[in-house]
Chain A
Amino acid sequence: GENVEQHPSTLSVQEGDSAVIKCTYSDSASNYFPWYKQELGKRPQLIIDIRSNVGEKKDQRIAVTLNKTAKHFSLHITETQPEDSAVYFCAGAGGTSYGKLTFGQGTILTVHP
C-alpha cells in the first residue's frame, strides 16, 4: 500500500514569511494528493489538492507542486499570517490505495506575529 512521509514535523516562521512543507509517497500509481489543515481542537479540512496530470496548482496564498518522477509534492504558503498556524497534513490516494487516503505524519506550523 501507499506510504506518505512528511517533513518537517514542526515549522516556525515569522508573519509575512513563506512556509514550505514537503511530502514523499511510495506508490507510483497514486494520482490524487490533497492537503488538509487542522486548527487546534478542530476537524481537518481540505485546503488544496492536486492530481497527477497537473504539476502545480495555486489558490491565493497557497500553492501545491507535484513531481511525479521524484514522487514528491509540496505545499507553499506565502505571506503567512498568525491564522495560518495549524497542523497541516498531506495525503495520497489512488493506485493500490484507490479509495483510501493515506496521510503523512503532519506538520505543526506556527506563525509568530
Chain B
Amino acid sequence: DTAVSQTPKYLVTQMGNDKSIKCEQNLGHDTMYWYKQDSKKFLKIMFSYNNKELIINETVPNRFSPKSPDKAHLNLHINSLELGDSAVYFCASSQRLAGGGNTGELFFGEGSRLTVL
C-alpha cells in the first residue's frame, strides 16, 4: 500500500541518453515535488507542482522537464544526460504547501538512483 511510489528504483545509462522517472502518489495530496540528493547527501528542490500547475522551478538545466498529467502523477524527463546528473532523485508529495499555517509535511518516495557512465 505504497503512498508515494517511483520507478525505476535504479537507472544506469550512458552520457547523452534520455531517460524518464515516474512518480505516483495515492495520498490525495495536491502538491508534488522532485528533489535531487547528491553524493554529499544534500537535498535540493528542483520542481514543485500544485494541482498540475508548476509553482516552483529552481535553477535547473533545461534538459530537465517535469510533467504532471494529473495531480497524482509527476514525471521527470532528462535529456542528454551528463555525468553530473548522477544522483538519487526523490519524488515527494504534501497535502499543503509548507509555510504559513500549513505543516506541508513531505512524504517521499523511495528514490531513484541514477548513474550516468
Residues of chain B within 8 A (CB-CB) of A43 are: 90, 108-111
- A98-B97 contact, Cβ under 8 Å, with A44-B106, A46-B106, A49-B103: yes
Chain B's closest residue to A29 (CB) is B99
Q: Report the interface size for chain B: residues with CB under 8 A from the other chain.
A: 25
Chain B, residue nearest A38 (CB): B41
Interface string of A27-68 (1 = CB under 8 A from B): 000111010101000111110010000000000000000000
What is the size, in residues, of chain A's interface with B at 8 Å between Cβ atoms?
27
Q: Which residues of A contact B106 (CB under 8 A)?
A: 36, 44, 46, 101
**What residues of B have a CB within 8 angstroms of the CB of A46 in the complex?**
105-106
Instruction: Assess whether B84 is interfacial by the CB under 8 Å rule.
Output: no
A89 at interface (Cβ–Cβ under 8 A)? yes
The residues in B between 14 and 42 inclusive whose CB is less than 8 angstroms from any CB of A are 31, 40-42
Which of B43, B44, B48, B90 is within 8 Å of A99, CB to CB?
Answer: B48
Chain A min CB distance to B71 (Å): 15
Assess the B98–A101 pair: CB atoms within 8 A.
Answer: yes
Is B45 in contact with A102, judged by CB distance below 8 angstroms?
yes
Given A31-B99, A32-B104, A49-B103, check contact A87 B41 (CB 8 Å). yes
**Chain A, residue nearest B109 (CB):** A43
Answer whether A101 and B41 are a contact pair too, CB < 8 Å, given A31-B99, A32-B99: no
Q: Is B102 an interface residue (CB 8 A)?
A: yes
Q: Are B108 and A45 in touch, CB under 8 angstroms?
A: yes
| A97 close to chain B: CB less than 8 A | yes
Contacts of B42 in A (CB 8 A): 103, 105-106
Residues of B within 8 A of A (CB): 31, 40-45, 48, 50, 55-56, 90, 97-100, 102-106, 108-111
Other contacts beyond A42-B110, A46-B106: 10, CB < 8 A: A32-B104, A38-B41, A44-B90, A49-B105, A98-B97, A99-B48, A100-B45, A100-B99, A101-B104, A103-B43
Contacts A/B (CB < 8 Å), 15 sampled: A34-B98, A43-B110, A43-B111, A44-B90, A49-B105, A93-B98, A94-B98, A95-B99, A98-B97, A98-B98, A99-B55, A101-B45, A103-B43, A105-B41, A105-B42
